[in-house]
Amino acid sequence: MAEVAADDLAGIRTWFEDLAKAVNSLDFEAGQRGITDDFVSFSTFQDIVVGREEAEHKQWRNVWPKTKGFAPRYDTLRAFVSPDRLMAVGIVLWDSIGYDEEGKPYPRPGRATMSFTREKIGDPWRANHGQMSLMRGTPAVSFGAEGKKAAE
């Protein structure tokens, strides 16, 4: 893997730290600040998500409230940075807790690949594409701590 400048890698880590804070506090506005206006991703609930509003309303609001303890595993963080240092890709494994239909917790590990952009070196990274997926064998649906019965 090509050498990545320490401050570039630190900036990507900071982006994932900010995402974890946003997810765990259900701060959708903070989540939106971390992505570009033209952000695109794949989604559990929609084939392709385009833009901040769709990311929040068609994905995040369906997932974030139903999981707890979203925590990137920073020891797995890897990155590639373009020669001009204005575009990057970061990947990381993460953990969280999901809930079955009865509201019982289960481990919900996953992985993320994000591409980042910025206008000049030293600016914070902002994601312009993201893909988050669960590890093989992890239940695809979390019902939240209240479970399905409480929601009916």
User: What angle (nearest 5°) sits at the alpha carbon of residue 29, between those of residues 96 and 68?
Assistant: 15
pLDDT in the model for residue 1? 58
Instruction: Decide if pLDDT at 132 tops 50.
Output: yes
Rounded Cα gap, residues 71 and 23, in angstroms? 9
Domains and CATH numbers, the chain: 6-151 (3.10.450.50)
pTM comes to 0.92
Which of 149 and 45 is assigned the larger pLDDT?
Answer: 45
pLDDT digits (tens, 9 = 90+) for 44-60: 777 899 999 999 999 99
Q: Is 101 helix (H, G, I), strand (E, B) or coil?
A: coil
Per-residue confidence at 148, pLDDT binned at 50, 70, 90?
low
Mean pLDDT over 2-11 rounds to: 92
Instruction: Decide if pLDDT at 152 tops 50.
Output: no
Rounded Cα gap, residues 151 and 113, in angstroms? 32
Give burial (CB, 10 Å; 0-12/13-18/19+) of 81.
Answer: buried
pLDDT digits (tens, 9 = 90+) for 89-106: 999 999 999 999 999 999
Rounded Cα gap, residues 60 and 107, in angstroms? 19
